[in-house]
Amino acid sequence: MFSVVICLDLVLHTAEAAKTADLTVSNHLRLFDGIQRYPVLAYLTHTASEPVLALGTAHVLFGERRLSKSLDTLVTSLRSGNIIARGDIGELAARLLLLCPRIAASEYDFESKVPLPSITLPVYLKALLGPVLDADFEKAFGSTWVNFHHWIVMSEPLPEVLDINTLANLWARGAAIQCCHNQAYVDILFITYRGSNDPDALFDPAKLSAVHVQVKLKDQPDSSALRRLRPIGLAKHLAETGMPYLVILYT
């Protein structure tokens, strides 16, 4: 289940991961480690994500109250070692930490037409950080919405300018971005929308913005990291539209 929503990738060349993959497949899954592209049969999406599977997973983990048991199983597996690449554990933990409050804070009803509704950025941050926001922040971001419910991992650095259609597509699919290992200044990015959340309201791509996150997880905090953070991919869009954005630093 976690492979869909937090991009949990096994290190398939190790004995422990191969055993886990075999057990998983024999129980309830099929594992793809590659795919042959057939132009006649395949449909190439604009975003490499599976929103329907992600919503189904959210339903199982949260709607059916299985998160605690599933996390215990995941952590136990990770402690055994060699299941995922050692350098990926910090990023994996950050994705999980950022995703769970997003889903838990939603008044989700998986039987409705909108199974996992958007929440405002202040509501999300309160679920993530607790009651730490001041009145000025709530006023500035009170009508800014968050809707991501799964992650996609980039294989290349983000371009300096992300196309507005790409931003809109990420928002429509509820996909957040885990940047590649050599991405400068930022590790994680998820799209926000400042405007009406009414399903019948006219969608305006100019009102899209983002939350940029950098994950350090060092014993000694990096005091200069915050100054280096900048909105990779959106600087031009934000300058033209005046949309507010947020940066988060995990030291």
Q: Parse the chain into domains and list their residue ranges.
A: 2-250
Torsion angle defined by CA atoms of residues 207, 212, 107 and 132, in that order, rounded to the nearest 10 degrees:
-110
Task: Identify the burial level of 37 via C-beta atoms within 10 angstroms of its C-beta, where 0-12 means exposed, 13-18 middle and 19 or more buried.
Answer: exposed
Res 134: pLDDT: 92
Strand partners, 151: 176
- Of 2, 250, 5, 7, which is closest to residue 129 (Cα–Cα)? 250
Phi/psi at 237 (5° precision): -60, -45
Res 141: pLDDT: 94
Exposure b/e, 48-81, CB count within 10 A at least 16 = b:
ebbbeebbbbbbebbbeeebeeeeeebeebeeee
- Reading the chain (251 residues) residue by residue, the pLDDT tens digits are 566 666 666 555 556 555 665 665 565 555 555 556 555 555 555 555 667 777 777 777 766 667 777 777 777 766 666 666 666 777 778 888 898 888 888 876 656 666 678 999 999 999 999 999 999 999 999 999 999 988 888 888 888 888 899 899 899 888 899 888 888 888 899 999 998 988 889 999 999 999 998 887 666 666 677 677 778 889 889 999 999 999 888 76
Q: Could you give the CA distance from residue 150 to residue 3 in angstroms, rounded to a whole number?
A: 10
Strand partners, 213: 188, 248
Res 3: pLDDT: 63
Res 150: pLDDT: 85
Contact 42, 110 (CB under 8 A): no
Res 120: pLDDT: 94
- pTM value > 0.95: no
Q: Could you give the CA distance from residue 243 to residue 139 in angstroms, rounded to a whole number?
A: 14
55 is written with which tokens?
């919503």
67 is written with which tokens?
């998160």
